[in-house]
Structure 1
Amino acid sequence: MNSRVQPTPRQLRAFENELAREIERRNIASGWDVLNPELGWARRTISCDIAPPSLLANAAHCAGFTLLPFDLPTKTIMWVDPGKVEVIEAYGRSKTTIFES
């Protein structure tokens, strides 16, 4: 049985907010053009294999919980565009839109 305490709804909201701030900071710092998001695809992706990437781990830490290796699906890529977020889990699967405004 998993004895780890799951993040609370409040922590998850804090995680979402911190992640959004960090993505915006990273994109602005890298010169990403939000009006033409298809350019610079490397700057708009978050990749996860075994350990969570620092962007996600730092957002979790700021929200008061820890992401450990294997907490997230392996071989996952997230594309973050203005108004749309897509995810693909494992190689060979199709993208799933998880957010669209």
Structure 2
Amino acid sequence: MREEATDPVPADVEAEAKAFIYFKESTNRLDAVNSIGCIGLGQDCNGQLVKDCPEWRTDRACQEAYWERYVLNRYGTWAEAKAFWQARVPINGSDVGHWW
């Protein structure tokens, strides 16, 4: 479970972090699909985006709401999500990054 943020993150920092993730994950394309089938602005790989946003290819408002919930629930802030994305973390014995 994530720790609660102690100080609010400035809006411009949050906006930059969100833009960074969207660009790195999908080049800011709603309809992006990667080589393993992850989709959308933030590259959902578990199929939940399709369930929550049936028109995900064209519905920016739905995707924005979906990713906002994801970020707040998992990281607390977009800035923390960006920091995690940039971190090198061990997965299956390999030091990897760019996962969020």
TM-score, normalised with respect to structure 1: 0.28
More strand by share: 1
TM-score, normalised with respect to structure 2: 0.28
